[in-house]
Structure 1
Amino acid sequence: MRSFSLLTWLLLAPALAPMRAEAAPPPEAAAAASRVVIVEADADDPLVREAATRLRAELGAAGFEVVRVPRARRGDAHDARDALERAAQDEGAFAAAAIFRSRAGATADLWIVDRVTQKTVVRTVEVSGAAAPSVMAVRAVELLQASLLEANLLSTRAPPEGAAGGERVAVPDDVRRWMAPVRRQAGADPAAARAGMLAGVGVEAGLVALLSADGIGPALGPALRLSYGAGAGGGGGALPAGLAARLTFAGPALGPALEGVLGTVSVRQEMALLEAVWALETGTAVSPVLSAGLGGFHLFISGDPLPPLRSATGEVWSIAATFGGGAGLRLTERAALLLDAHAIFAEPRAVVTLGGERLGTAGRPTFAGYLGLLVRL
């Protein structure tokens, strides 16, 4: 049992490793965070100052390094644009933002300069109400994301004629990740196709329970499965989507001894099967699984009769056909819990007798239930 637990942990570790890596990013990733500049305009205005503070929090929560740059004086629109572009370039930032109170006082102008698309965009928002600073911060983030949506279109074009700075920067990886949900929502990026549950190479370890329809069992033993299937991002290109080939090794399965008038008989069962498996994608965490296969079935007996009969052993090798169905529950993108049941028909059938007394048969049919942890490698 200890060795089986160790095998299960070794199989699960590769599937959980990406989760641990995402939950605790290495220090190098944090150090390489992209920069955003916030130019502090109208610093004496409490509303603008609060909105800028919330904007820093929004961008910092997204994982960016936020740099504050004071603006010495108010100028016209051209001065504001130049100040933002110059601050972004000096700090090596991919974007710069500023919030200006309008002359009327009832509105504020949100300015965004991003060096990815070399665009300057402005939005005017109302500043009335207690929620005004939060609204301005959220609108500024939305404005930056809207501007960055054009990055994929401009990546193959020359910089816009007359654009200040003259140098378009590549889209940083963390900016690309931050923009991914926005791009998918806008239809700029299709959602990444999810790999099938049985896609690529998979290893499944678990337990098998066997029960004959005529007296043998129940019996319990280990099971190991190796699969290779098709599915998005999972290889298996020679197979139709959702279909997999699987090798199943089950046993030795041991159960209670069979009792007769003349004594008892211990039974051991093993199987090796080659199956075709189809996992139906439902778009949810649960997928129905159907299978059919052929292989070998082995039954070994050891008799312990009453005197004067002598102990003896025997075995039967049979060709087996199996049909099954069940379901898989995704635990992560690479790990799933599978539960399925099978009917196994063997030829020749195995008949257990003791002193001429028939104690049971196997394979006409024998029912098998599997519970296992599948890990895609």
Structure 2
Amino acid sequence: MKPVSGSYSRFVRALTLLGAALLWAGSAPAATVALLNADSSPALSEVAFRLRGELAALRYEVVLLNRPQGTGDARAWLEQEADERGIDAALEVVPEPGARAVDVWIFQRSPRRSQVARVVVERDEPDRAGTLAIRAIEVLRSYDVEAELADQAKPRAEEKPAPRKAASTSKTDATELSFGPRFGLELGGALLTGVDGVGPALMPVLRVGWRARPPWVLNATLSGLGTRPALRAPSGTVRVAQSYVALGLCYCPLSLRALTPYLSLAAGATHASLEGEAVAPSRGHSVEHWSLLLDAGAGARFLLPAGYFATLSGHLQLAQPRVAIHVLDERVGSTGRPSLVANLMVGAWL
């Protein structure tokens, strides 16, 4: 095996661009959405739980509200809460004869008015809680609350803060939450193959993600311990084992659609282990080599029941320096210029 050196300029430029993208951070202000606590019914509580998860995944600031006993005019009470707490929208799970429903409230400050839409899912709908949560969030997003917030940011900043009312027993108990499923975990399999003699290898893949700022996700990927394709020549055989670790950035738009495409770029290191078997009287030997790795990928994410998702992606990997493989003086292949990877994984946001 002989490492083949080459120009690092393109690789360094790609790493520079990746580093600049990773350093791009800063969080845009999110809309504030109130979630009214459902009653003790397990079915309605499940819908509320799914709504809370979807809101957190979309990076809305979530406030829990308990409707006080004896509330007469729901619209007047919600509008007062929206004014006092800076709430832009509210979701309330309500019982509906023969079905389940969610009321979606939107509050506009100038001119001061509110809108409400009811989303209903019939009882014979499969995965009613998940379907209702997704449809309610779609209605919420259709109002483009966050764009409206951006337009109102300057006038709201110039307003003097209104004095808060003194706490009383009749006051709604609200708790601001700063939670959110920012960490993702995926596990699956990869098919890795070269284009210069090294055949396909099957290997497990582990990916950990951190949602930095939608739609950007930081990913750490580890793969190895797979099958070892063999390269054969008249004077012997070489078995090739490969593994890699990479840290990168994924453009993963937040969407409630069944299928969402994404793009990724990562950098890391790849390891090649070669074990030679020579025909007598020659002797085989083993060699290991590390190279820098650049990985560019594209794929799609599919929503699954119970909050899980599946991803199918293809990747192009470049290694520098690449590894040329020889059996005695005969060159039989190389790795990393380029390698092609297909991943199929299942995961969830935790």
Quickly name the TM-score band, shorter chain normalised.
Answer: 0.5 to 0.7
From 237, 245, 253, the equivalent of 1:264 is 237
Aligned partner of residue 311 in structure 1, secondary structure: coil
Aligned partner of residue 180 in structure 1, secondary structure: strand
Matched, 1:336 2:297: no
Deviation at 1:152, TM superposition (A): 2.5
Show the counterpart of 1:374: 347
Amino acid paired to 2:345: G
Contact 1:289 1:326 in 2 (8 A): yes
Contact 1:298 1:318 in 2 (8 A): yes
CA-to-partner distance for each residue in 1:86-138, whole Å, 9 max, x for gaps?
xxxxxxxx9xxxxxxxxxxxxxxxxxxx95317xxxxxxxxxxxxxxxxxxxx
C-alpha distance in structure 2 between counterparts of 1:333 and 1:244, whole Å: 22
Matched, 1:152 2:107: no
C-alpha distance in structure 2 between counterparts of 1:30 and 1:335, whole Å: 21
Structure 1's unaligned 5+ residue stretches are: 1-27, 34-93, 95-113, 119-147, 158-171, 230-235
Matched, 1:277 2:250: yes
Show the counterpart of 2:288: 315
From 303, 327, 334, the equivalent of 1:361 is 334
Amino acid paired to 1:152: L
C-alpha distance in structure 2 between counterparts of 1:244 and 1:181, whole Å: 31
Matched, 1:208 2:208: no
C-alpha distance in structure 2 between counterparts of 1:189 and 1:263, whole Å: 73
Deviation at 1:254, TM superposition (A): 1.8
After superposition, the Cα gap between the structure-2 partners of 1:334 and 1:283, relative to the gap in structure 1 and judged at 3 Å, is: closer
After superposition, the Cα gap between the structure-2 partners of 1:296 and 1:31, relative to the gap in structure 1 and judged at 3 Å, is: closer
Show the counterpart of 1:227: 209
Contact 2:44 2:93 in 1 (8 A): no
Matched, 1:293 2:270: no
C-alpha distance in structure 1 between counterparts of 2:238 and 2:43, whole Å: 69
C-alpha distance in structure 2 between counterparts of 1:305 and 1:182, whole Å: 72
Aligned partner of residue 224 in structure 1, secondary structure: strand
After superposition, the Cα gap between the structure-2 partners of 1:337 and 1:156, relative to the gap in structure 1 and judged at 3 Å, is: closer
Structure 2's unaligned 5+ residue stretches are: 1-39, 46-66, 84-91, 107-113, 119-135, 142-179
C-alpha distance in structure 1 between counterparts of 2:264 and 2:346, whole Å: 17
CA RMSD, 1 decimal: 3.8
After superposition, the Cα gap between the structure-2 partners of 1:259 and 1:374, relative to the gap in structure 1 and judged at 3 Å, is: same
Show the counterpart of 2:72: 117
CA-to-partner distance for each residue in 1:130-149, whole Å, 9 max, x for gaps?
xxxxxxxxxxxxxxxxxx55
C-alpha distance in structure 1 between counterparts of 2:44 and 2:263, whole Å: 47
After superposition, the Cα gap between the structure-2 partners of 1:352 and 1:154, relative to the gap in structure 1 and judged at 3 Å, is: closer
Deviation at 1:311, TM superposition (A): 2.3
Task: Indicate the percent of aligned positions where both proteins have the same amino acid.
Answer: 27
CA-to-partner distance for each residue in 1:284-333, whole Å, 9 max, x for gaps?
11111100111001000111111011121001110011111010001147
Amino acid paired to 1:265: V
Deviation at 1:182, TM superposition (A): 6.5
Deviation at 1:273, TM superposition (A): 0.3
After superposition, the Cα gap between the structure-2 partners of 1:265 and 1:361, relative to the gap in structure 1 and judged at 3 Å, is: same
C-alpha distance in structure 1 between counterparts of 2:82 and 2:314, whole Å: 54
C-alpha distance in structure 1 between counterparts of 2:249 and 2:44, whole Å: 47
C-alpha distance in structure 2 between counterparts of 1:347 and 1:294, whole Å: 11
C-alpha distance in structure 1 between counterparts of 2:257 and 2:190, whole Å: 26
C-alpha distance in structure 1 between counterparts of 2:206 and 2:331, whole Å: 32
C-alpha distance in structure 1 between counterparts of 2:94 and 2:70, whole Å: 15
Larger Rg: 1
C-alpha distance in structure 2 between counterparts of 1:180 and 1:226, whole Å: 33
After superposition, the Cα gap between the structure-2 partners of 1:357 and 1:183, relative to the gap in structure 1 and judged at 3 Å, is: same
Amino acid paired to 2:72: T
Contact 1:247 1:274 in 2 (8 A): yes
Matched, 1:242 2:170: no
Report matched runs for 1:1-377 at 5 Å: 29=41, 116-117=71-72, 152-153=78-79, 180-181=102-103, 183=105, 187-188=115-116, 191-192=136-137, 200-229=182-211, 236=212, 239=213, 241-281=214-254, 283-332=256-305, 334-377=307-350
C-alpha distance in structure 1 between counterparts of 2:43 and 2:259, whole Å: 39
Higher strand share: 2
Show the counterpart of 1:76: none
Contact 1:243 1:279 in 2 (8 A): yes
Greater RCO structure (CA 8 Å; 6+ sep): 2
Contact 1:210 1:253 in 2 (8 A): no
C-alpha distance in structure 1 between counterparts of 2:280 and 2:321, whole Å: 31
Amino acid paired to 1:117: G
Aligned partner of residue 195 in structure 2, secondary structure: strand
